[in-house]
Structure 1
Amino acid sequence: MRLTQLFLILLALQVLVSACSPTKRREDQGIVAKAWHNTNAHFNGYFNAREIMDETLLALNEQHEDNYNQRLEMFPFLAVDNPSTAAGELDRAIEKVAIVVKKHPFSNWTDDSYLLVGQAQLLKQDYESAERTLDFALSEFRPRPKRGKSKSTSDDEGEEEFESRREVEASKTQTRRDRLRARREAQRERERTIKQRQKEQKVAQKQRERERRAKIRARKKGIRLPSSRPAAADSTALAGLENEPDTPETEAEMEEGPIGMISIFSNRSADEAGSGEYGSNPGSYLLKHRPAYQEIRLWLAWTLIKRDDFDRAQIILEDLRNDRGTYADVRRKAIAVQAYLYLEQDRLEEAIPYLEAAAEVAEERNEQARYSYIAGQLYQELGQPGSAIDAFRAVVAAKPAYELELGARINMAQNAYLSGSGSPAEALRDLERMAGEEKNREYESQILYAMAGIALNSGDEAAGAEYLRRALDSPYGGSNTRVEAYQLLGDMAYTQEDYLTAKNYYDSTLQVMAETDVRFPETSGRRDRLTGVSDNLQAITVKDSLLRIGMLPDADRRNWAEEVFELRRATSSAANFSTPVTRGSLPVTNASATVAVTGSSFWGYDNQAIRRGRRDFARRWGDRPLEDNWRRSSRTDVSLFTDAGDAGVADPAAESVTLVTEDEINRILADVPTDEATQAATRAELAEAYFNLGREYRDRVNNNAKAIDAFETLDERFPGTAFEPESWYYLYLLHKAEGNTAEARTYADRLAQRYGETKFARLANDPNFVNELADEESGRNRAYEAAYAAFENRDYADARRRILASVGSLPEDHALRARYDLLNAMVSGKLEGRAAYVSALQQVVNQYNNTPEQTRAREILRLLGESAARVPGRTETTAGTSFQASMDEIHYVLIVFENTDARLNDLKIELENFNQQYNKLDRLKSTPIYIGRNNETPMLVMRRFRDGNTAMEYYRSTQQNSQDFLANSGEGFQVLPVSQTNYREILKARSIAGYADWFRANYQ
């Protein structure tokens, strides 16, 4: 017995030593060694990595918020705005499977580990790395070819279903032939299945029709037929099923599953792994490991879609869907990814069948509902409301999460009248009823937005705008609905040419719209184009009002001031009533004082929430006075002791006491122009505002009609101003562009009669004047080139003579003036020495802000070791031209601190903590350095990034995760990606000055 135990111990030690040896080849591994490696690979590294992935997916799913007012994302975990929040956890998962591959390279879980790495990189939106990883796994773990059974190979049944490409040389011709044959067989089997289903549907339809007719006949005779249900099959009558239970087997109800579609990552079930929708059984993997080759191909196709390599992705997906050996779960996912491919290509009609097919084979209710919901939205976009209703009915039938069901019901109401089965009034009534239900209270804004869409589609823009405003005022309005409502209101106002209102709505839109939204650049650009129009319209409104008040008699002006005071006092009282006031504090006297507390999260400081609450109160209780009615002792008004309808109680001689003082009146009337001089100045400002408004309408908004109206108002109200000749020339151009030849000729004649010597009159009446201007400009350019050539030929005296001769004839605002002054500074340096050179260069810097000449002068001063003497109040905004844009070059990232006493070592530790959390696998290193003539500027230099795009990704990550990036340091800093060449320029100059502006102008 002891000998047997000793023998077993020695055998176990031998197996353990052989199993732990990392140098053994695959074929040298014994059964026990394989089991040991597989167990450790699966239940240590891979299992933990899979758990991290599941938790990360849940976090990404919670981060993404579905916008039911737009087309839903098929896979929200790929649509998050800031994937770097999960980068740290995904890097942890990658590290764990990397250990699996290193310590257990021949385990069955090596291919799964590579697959998980590719999945993690895809979730990080690092598509290039994901493609490289999955491409390698695809070539490394392709299945081994089938071999005939023999005695020598009978022991290989337990081996993996893949092997390295270095060990297999398969025939490409044979593989292609087998694939084509499999596709043809699959197609024939699909056709047979479709025919069989159609036949069964016809039989069932005939049976239902017979039953319906029988019921009608029986009803006429007064007979009530029992409900016809298919009888349960007698399982005991079937051979081989004697042990089955007597009750019929019911179909298991589908699980709900997460809304975020993370079920695409769910672990495959062994019992279904070998069964397909059609085709032969690819093999049972109930007791052995299933290769990850097919899933690697699926995820590679997914990655190629994100890389816009649609052709290659299409080939892979077609092969997965048509191959008879594809696992059922992989085929189910491939159908969904095929729909995703068509959506990415905006091929909506082709995506719909695959969405419906994916919904049919989905295993979870939310997954099924989501595919059907997107299909319904596509039908809406294609103008097929009937099909859209059917798709949304399928969503409701799936019994998904309430958000999906409610969105489907809202869309059904919207599409009902479009399909002819209802009217807009009925749809609005149904949605109003839904909005009033308690369970839909938190979705009120979403329902109101849908009602606005119905009203707008039916042509009632006033009602649509009112519904949108109600959606914005709803206390349950989410950010997505607010974005859509503000955007739509802005577009409506823009279409109606109400540009001031449109600009304000666009401002509100951009405050709640994410910068990653595809509409952000267009909305921002339209807002910027309307800024000049808005500013001038506001200036005209204010100055017109002030001028009108200033021309009133003194008594009327004083009465107006008193009314303004009373209005402000009433507004202040309402604000005090709604805003808590601390004990001992003074009451707020104007509305602007409440701005100081807007940063608080307390509900009482949210004016918008207060307005919503006041409106909700009025809906329920009506218009009640704001008074303490619950305690009689606190009421001091006369009505406390009188009943309604009592006459003669109040004193008719009693008058309200006016609390306004002379100081208050003078303060209100401070900006009102009352004398002739200030009124004339106000009129001049009004004329300028009208002139600028006309130019903004023409040049920025492209609204010629509005521009003509503005210039004609200027001509009518303020004749003889300095803007008159140019405004007439604009009117000549505008009428000519609009085809009003007679009107254009009128303004050309007026210019010729009154301003015949100006360039505007000559431009309108002399066709050759444009050529003369071009020749004159060409002569000026030739004169400058001659002066510069003299400087290059070292004939500095001739260069000075030419400069002085040409500058005198230039207009004050001509661009050549700056170039002449810079050239004159260089000539001064040659003729008069260093002091004159520096002085002239400083004059160029001070006089020509934001010009290339200023930049060049500043660079020369820096090389000379001098500083540019700036004019007080003027800031440097233009970077030097010595910096060069090179995105393909190696890049660094500079963190430049404002505090000269910043503790760089502590900041370096905090920076490394951030990199560990968000960029763990990049192995970034930072170095503390000081630059400046006196080493006064501390900064951290982080090395290194392979190109500018990678550095910009890190820069955007610091902006998106600013709450974690050096947030606890309390230091002010700038983050600046810089190329290797530009970094050398910074070190050479020993200054960072100018680079921040150059970076913002060239990188963003």
Structure 2
Amino acid sequence: MHPRPRKKILAGRNNTDTSYPEMVKQLTRIFLLLALASFALTSCASSKKREDQSALAKLWHNMNSHYNGYFNARELMDESLLVLDEQHVDNYTQRLKMFPFLEVTNPAVVGDNLDVAIEKVAIVVKKHPYSNWVDDSYLLVGQAQLIKQDYESAEKTLRFLTTEFRPRPKRKKTKKSKGKGKNQETDESEEEEFVSRREVVKDDPAAARKDRIRAREEAQKERKKLQKEREKENRAAQKEREKERKARIKARKKGIKLAPIKRDTVSKGLENEPEEVPEEELGPVGMISIFGGANRNAEQGGAFGKKSGSYALKHRPAYQEGRLWLAWVYIKRDNFDRAQVILEELRNDRGTFPDVRRRAMAVQAFNYLEQERLEEAISFLEEAAKVAETRNEKARFYYIAGQLHQELKNPGGAEAAFNEAIAARPDYELELGARLNLAQNSFLSGSGSASDAISRLDRMAREDKNLPYESQIYFSAATVALKDGNKQLGGEYLRKALDSPSGGDNQRLESYVLLGDLAYDDSDYLSAKFAYDTTLQVMGRNDERYPGVNGRRDQLSGIAQNLTDITRSDSLLRIGTMPEADRAKWAQNLFQSQRAAQVAASTGPAIGGPALGRAGATATSNSEFFAYNTSTMRRGGRDFERRWGDRPLTDNWRLGSRGNPDIFDDTNESLTAGNESSMATEDEINALLEGIPVTEADQTSTRAQLARNYYDLGREYRERLQNNEKALDALGILEKQFPGSDNEAEAWYYQYLMNQELGRKSVADGYAKKLRDKYADSKFERLANDPSYAAGLLAADDEVGKEYETAQRTFDAGNYRKANQLATVGRGKLADDHPLNARYDLLLAMSSGGTEGKQAYVDGLQRVVADYPNTPENTRAKEILRLLGESSVRVAGQTAVQGSRGFKESFAELHYLLVVFDEPTVNLNDAKISVSEFNNKYNKRDRLRITNVYIGTDVKLPILILRRFKSGEEAMTYVANARENEQEFLDGGKFGYELIAITQSNYRELLKQRSATEYLEWYQENY
């Protein structure tokens, strides 16, 4: 165990010059040293106070805490950051993220590593509470919690760090009073730089007060000195400017034109930093070097003219970094003012470490960006770029500054920033993004035309090195063309960007958004709807544009559906009115074109291949094409095997047994046979012609539906888009092609209103006359020709509204019985389609609860939920039912318990997760292994238990049970993560299953029913 001492002992024994007593002395000395070391190690228990620790004990604690727990935790943290960096893909068409690792949508990917890192440093804190690495351990915990987006816990951890480990002012050396020993008379000691707050309290209050006063006085002296220096500099600058002004006046009098004076307008943020930062490694594109790394403890020298202390031979406290990260947490929690206070102190304090102050510059810019204070963010971005440690970090900051200049319509500043980004020599992708922006910027700044910029971009697209970025370049060309007002050329370049195989998800997303907006602006609403549909398949819900795109898609849904139905009905009528021979010929041509398309698809690239990308895979998941339906494919495989047997997967399998696949010797014969095989049979033709209106009755029905579609289309244009011109076009077609339709009176009234709004009085009067001639005394005729009738309807509506308000005020006053009576009377006066019905029924339910009890309350609310879907009253009723612990499901003719199928909704109750499999023959062992591996990766600390049960009467259905979760919210978080990582959860596609959350009480009810069907339906409606 101790090779070196053993070697020395043996040498002493064999050496004739070493006497036996001398060897005994050496052995005694060695054993004494070993005993002292053993005593020191055993006496350095963590329960001892800091002042009781020996020097050897302190060394042992520091060595173990640093090179064991903390080192391994830091390695896990670095690995997690690399994973997040690899996952992040920059979208250079949008404003880049300053710190992408904080913007990830699924931090659970690295959650397991970060949890292990937290466990390791927790052991450090527990076993070595007085080591120098305890504050670093708390800092790492806060960093991990911030990356996991657990902002509340991160704030608590970092506030504890900055409170417990704040630095103490250094005291001057003082002589201690004479003690018993002689050597204690002049014993001088220097205090440690920081201690826990709990130990500071034990110190002498008077001495601590003197320290605070002395520190305050020194800081005041430094401020005065700095103020005097700045005033002196200002006076010198003023004298220089006055001298320049007089010189220019004198030159102007002599007729001499001097060059304009160029002044440095950039604010000085780091006064004592070197002007040129030494160039280091490239650094990752998406990750800023925020963790300091190996150079952290080697940082020496202070800022603003004063050193913060040398830490080459001693440990540097983590207090300042803890405050910096606490500011970060405050920003993520929208507490910008508290973050601003910390950042200003870090930047202005002379004792701040240079690396911390460098990062404080970047975090300050981030603080302004989060508040959309772009002009203030630019200066700090540029200052942070000047002192950045890596080339990519420097270029990234300049790139974002350039983007902000563009948003502020400042092309000159943008050009300068992008040139700085290129000069930093970053990764080529970032450099290319800057060059593409410069190509656009030359047009925006007026130094070049749009055609020149597009030509430049076309040349870039043709370069071999830019082939992987072809889609991005075409998108930039489209942006230039659109800004120049050339929508046609812009659309062409957008389609080129989509057709390019180099386009990734982000590029396709941006292209589809622009195409949708172009089609929307051109009133091509069907194309816009399809573009927005595709956009939403790949756009994340956290994208700030998602609500707008989703709103437009919903706005266009009815219009697109009517346009699609009109096209389909027109085609069916056209084919149905053909002669029978022409219809058969059309069906034959359609069959052959479909056959050719299937052959092309079978010989083309695989579906979902690299060229299709993630967007294509997403699109196929929602497709109705038969080849994407797994159950249809399995059924087809069984039918094939039943007819043809188990055949090998070979080409030309029908001819495989004949020995010669080239059975046709003559080319013409081969072609003839091929043509015959592509001819449709009579049954196939009849299948294609199914649904085509051939009879007079079917054609009449199709025309009626077509007329209804045109009427609905006109209403959608008016009510959804307020586009009266398009609405008049649709209703004009209805009037011309389908005279006397069921909605003719309403259509004429709408045309009357819209023409009046457009100032076409004569046209509006014409429609009023038509209504008077054909639909005299009807509601719409009186609305158009009798102003008093419309006023009467408004007065009646106003009276109804007043009656409802009276009933509502009575309810608010607590008179539930009277409110119920008023609501009953008011509800009885309304028509079935009156918009106040839902509000009256909700008021009746609430007033019934005050007079008849809870059951009447629940029944009334369930009626509102069932009768008024997609209304605010429906949402309010569901919220009340949830608070009452009841289900929102109601089945007519059943009691409340039966209506809720025996299940009750309670998110606060303990929850299980059920994996309900589709087939009873599933391999549960494989499923358990897959789920266990998923839990070990994403939910290791939750210690979930997995068991299985079989339910059912005739066929036993296997179910995996995951126990357990504190609330429904935690369970649904697990469900969302499992769906997002389906390939890891249950091998995505290998198992057919449903993953559902269930409370303990509902689980017992499910076991009683011996079926999961009822609960699955209830779960879909309530969760």
Q: Which band: TM-score by shorter chain?
A: 0.7 to 0.9
Query: What CA distance in whole angstroms lies between the structure 2 residues aligned with 1:680 and 1:76?
Result: 61
Q: Give the Cα–Cα distance (whole angstroms) in 2 for the partners of residues 200 and 292 of structure 1.
A: 45
1:308 alignment partner, SS class: coil
- Whether the aligned pair in 2 keeps the contact of 1:141 and 1:293 (CA below 8 Å) is yes
- Retained in 2: the 8 A contact 1:297–1:316? yes
Tell me the CA shift for residue 701 of structure 1.
2.8
8 A Cα contact 2:385 2:397, kept in partner: yes
In structure 1, C-alpha distance between the alignment counterparts of 2:428 and 2:310, rounded to whole Å: 38
Distance in 1 between the 2:839 and 2:319 partners? 67
The 8 Å contact of residues 915 and 993 in structure 2, kept in 1 or not, is answered as yes
> 155-164 or 255-264: which moved more?
155-164
TM-score, L = length of structure 2 = 0.73
Report Cα offsets for 1:517-550 as digits up to 9, x if no partner: 2222321222122121111111112222332344
Contact 1:372-1:391 within 8 A present in 2 as well: yes
Report if the CA contact (8 A) 1:891-1:977 is conserved: no
Q: Residue 30 in 1 paired to residue 54 in 2?
A: yes
Please say if residues 321 and 356 of structure 2, whose CA atoms lie closer than 8 Å, have aligned partners that are also in contact. yes
Q: How does 1:507-906 map to 2 (within 5 A)?
A: 507-552=533-578, 560=586, 564=590, 567-568=593-594, 571=597, 574-575=600-601, 578=604, 596=627, 668-764=688-784, 765=786, 766-771=789-794, 774=797, 858=890, 883=905, 890=908, 892-899=910-917
Q: C-alpha distance in 1, partners of 2:452/2:798?
A: 71
The residue that corresponds to 2:652 in the other structure is none
Match of 2:119 in 1: 95
- State the Cα deviation string for residues 822-873 of structure 1 (Å, max 9, x = none): x9xxx9xxxxxxxxx9xx99x99999696979988847976577579xxxxx
Deviates more, 1:748-757 or 1:435-444: 748-757
Change beyond 3 A, Cα 1:161–1:451: same
In 2, the alpha carbon distance for the partners of 1:635 and 1:357 equals 79
One-letter identity of the residue aligned with 1:359: A
How far apart, CA to CA, are the structure 1 residues paired with 2:770 and 2:214?
Answer: 88
Report if the CA contact (8 A) 2:298-2:311 is conserved: no
The reply to whether residue 356 of structure 1 matches residue 382 of structure 2 is yes
Q: Tell which deviates more after alignment, 336-345 or 259-268.
A: 259-268
Contact kept, 8 Å, 1:503 with 1:534, in 2: the verdict is yes
Report what 1:496 is aligned to.
522
1-side partners of 2:145 and 2:589: how far apart?
66
* Aligned position for 2:475: 449
Task: Check whether the contact 1:186–1:279 (CA below 8 A) recurs between aligned residues.
Answer: no
Residue identity opposite 2:38 in structure 1: L
In the alignment, is the contact (CA less than 8 A) between 1:911 and 1:966 conserved in 2? yes
1:15-43, Cα deviation, whole Å (9 max, x unpaired) = 11112x12100111111111110011100
Say which SS state the counterpart of residue 263 (structure 1) adopts.
Answer: coil
**Which of 369, 386, 405 is the equivalent residue of 1:379?**
405
Q: Structure 1 residues 96 and 845, CA, compared in 2 at 3 Å: closer, same or farther?
A: closer
1:137–1:296 CA contact under 8 A, matched in 2: yes
Q: Is the 8 A contact 2:714 2:727 kept in 1?
A: yes
| 2:416 aligned with 1:390 | yes
| Other structure's SS at 2:913 match | strand
Task: Please say which of residues 539-548 and 474-483 is displaced more in the overlay.
Answer: 539-548
- How many residues align structurally? 854
RMSD: 5.1
* 1:390 Cα deviation from its structure 2 partner: 1.2
Aligned partners of 1:512 and 1:986: how far apart in 2?
Answer: 37
Q: What secondary structure does 2:540 align onto? A: coil
Q: Name which of 164, 188, 207 aligns with 2:197.
A: 164
Q: 1:277 to 1:1000 in 2, by over 3 A?
A: farther
Corresponding residue SS for 1:964? helix
Maintained 8 Å contact 1:139/1:165: no
Kept in 2, the 8 Å contact 1:925–1:944? The answer is no
- Which range moved further: 554-563 or 419-428? 554-563
User: Structure 1: how far apart are the matches of 2:627 and 2:953?
Assistant: 42
1:176 to 1:983, Cα distance in 2 relative to 1, 3 A: farther
Q: Using the alignment, how far apart are the partners of 1:716 and 1:944 within structure 2?
A: 64
**Equivalent-residue separation in structure 1 for 2:357 and 2:830 (angstroms):** 79
Q: CA deviation at 1:721?
A: 1.5
Of all paired residues, the percent bearing the same amino acid is 49
Q: What residue in structure 2 maps to residue 111 of structure 1?
A: 135
The correspondence for 1:15, drawn from 23, 40, 45, is 40
Deviations 1:796-816 (A, max 9, x none): xxx9xx99xx99997599997
Give deviations 1:42-75, integer Å, cap 9, x for gaps: 0000011011111111001101111111111111
Q: Tell me how far apart the structure 1 counterparts of residues 327 and 830 of structure 2 sit (CA, whole Å).
A: 68
Query: Hey, what does 1:76 align to over in structure 2?
Result: 100
Shift of 1:406: 1.1
Name the counterpart of 2:69. 45
The residue identity in structure 1 corresponding to 2:111 is A
Structure 1, 86-95 or 670-679: larger mean CA deviation: 670-679
- The answer to whether the 8 Å contact 1:673/1:682 transfers is yes
Q: Is residue 1009 of structure 2 the alignment partner of residue 976 of structure 1?
A: no
> Any idea what the Cα deviations from partners look like across 1:189-238, whole Å, max 9, x if unmatched?
6788999999999x9xxxxxxxxxxxxxxxxxxxxxxxxxxxxxxxxxxx
Q: Name the TM-score, length of structure 1 as normaliser.
A: 0.74
Which residue does 2:395 correspond to in 1?
Answer: 369
Match for 2:383: what amino acid? A
Residues 896 and 937 in structure 1, CA contact (< 8 A), matched pair in contact too: no
Say if 1:302 and 1:32 are closer, same or farther in 2 by CA, change over 3 A: same
Partner amino acid, structure 2, of 1:44: N
Range 424-433 or range 458-467, more displaced:
424-433
Structure 1 residue 332 corresponds to structure 2 residue 358:
yes
The aligned residue for residue 89 of structure 2 is 65
Alignment check: 8 A CA contact 2:866 2:889 kept = no
* Contact residue 46 and residue 113 of structure 1 kept, 8 A: yes
Question: Cα distance 1:717–1:42, how it changes in 2: closer, same or farther (>3 A)?
Answer: same
Q: Secondary structure at the match of 1:767?
A: helix
Where 1:65 maps in the other structure, the secondary structure is coil
Q: Which moved more, 1:537-546 or 1:306-315?
A: 537-546
Name the amino acid aligned to 1:6. F
Q: Structure 1 residues 780, 939: CA separation in 2 closer, same or farther (over 3 Å shift)?
A: farther
Q: Which amino acid aligns with 1:713?
A: I
1:692-731 residue CA offsets vs partner (Å, 9 max, x unmatched): 2112222333322212221222122111111112223333
Aligned residue identity for 1:454: V
2:718–2:724 CA contact under 8 A, matched in 1? yes
8 Å contact from structure 1 (residues 845, 857) kept in 2: no
Give the deviation of 1:167 after TM superposition. Answer: 1.3
Closer, same or farther: CA 129–186 of 1 in aligned 2, 3 Å: farther
- Unaligned 5+ runs, structure 2: 1-24, 177-185, 244-275, 608-622, 631-661, 670-674, 809-815, 849-855, 879-886
- 1:831 maps to none
C-alpha separation between the residues in 2 aligned to 1:941 and 1:265? 38
Higher relative contact order (CA 8 A, sep 6+): 1
The answer on 1:281 being equivalent to 2:334 is no
1:296 to 314, 322, 344: 322
Give the letter aligned to residue 771 of structure 2.
Answer: L
Q: Give the Cα–Cα distance (whole angstroms) in 2 for the partners of residues 263 and 563 of structure 1.
A: 64
2:507 corresponds in structure 1 to 481
Asked if structure 2 preserves the Cα contact closer than 8 Å seen for 1:763 and 1:769, the reply is no
**Alignment check: 8 A CA contact 1:729 1:748 kept:** yes
Call closer, same or farther: CA 1:128–1:530 in 2, change over 3 Å.
same
> How far apart are residue 962 of structure 1 and its match?
3.0
Q: Judge conservation of contact 2:461–2:474 (CA < 8 Å) in 1.
A: yes
CA contact (8 A) 2:996 2:1019 kept: no
Change (3 A) 1:8 1:658: closer
What is the CA distance between 1:755 and its match in structure 2?
2.9
Q: 1:773 and 1:164 mapped to 2: Cα distance?
A: 73
Which amino acid in 2 is paired with 1:547?
A: L
